[in-house]
Amino acid sequence: MCRGTYDVAFQIFNSTPLGKNPSLLAFYTSTALFRLGRNEEASALIEQFLKNYPKDEGGLLSSVKAMMLAKAGKDAKRKERSSALSRSAAATLTFITRLIASPLLTLL
């Protein structure tokens, strides 16, 4: 997973039995899903794990949830910023169009 091959990592983690450290395995599996953009699956895995192991010792799964929320917030801000830029660009275009069509411009 450190090499960025999240699809391979997910396949390995998904086929590994829970064993002695289920929270670590759930952490790595949900992180791989998150990195692959499969947020709904990662979230479902985390929720299922927390039902079975509500303590989340070490906060591993809470950290993945935090990354997911942070990314969702960034995506929302990016969309908001893009929308604001689009409105600003449209206003500038309208201004320039009116300026070009203005009779005052022909006097120069």
Instruction: Identify whether 66 is part of a domain.
Output: yes
Instruction: Identify whether 105 is part of a domain.
Output: no
Instruction: Identify whether 90 is part of a domain.
Output: no
User: Cβ(9)–Cβ(42) under 8 Å?
Assistant: no
Instruction: Identify whether 107 is part of a domain.
Output: no
Length of the chain counted residue by residue: 108
> pLDDT tens digits, residue range 37-92?
999 999 998 999 889 888 887 788 888 888 888 888 877 776 776 676 667 666 66
For residues 49 and 47, give the distance between their C-alpha atoms in angstroms, rounded to a whole number: 5
pLDDT at position 52, please?
87
Domain carrying residue 28: 6-81
For residues 15 and 3, give the distance between their C-alpha atoms in angstroms, rounded to a whole number: 19
Assess whether pLDDT exceeds 60 at residue 25: yes
* DSSP code for 58: G
For residues 70 and 77, give the distance between their C-alpha atoms in angstroms, rounded to a whole number: 11
**Rounded CA Rg of the chain:** 24
Domain count, the chain: 1
Instruction: Identify whether 89 is part of a domain.
Output: no
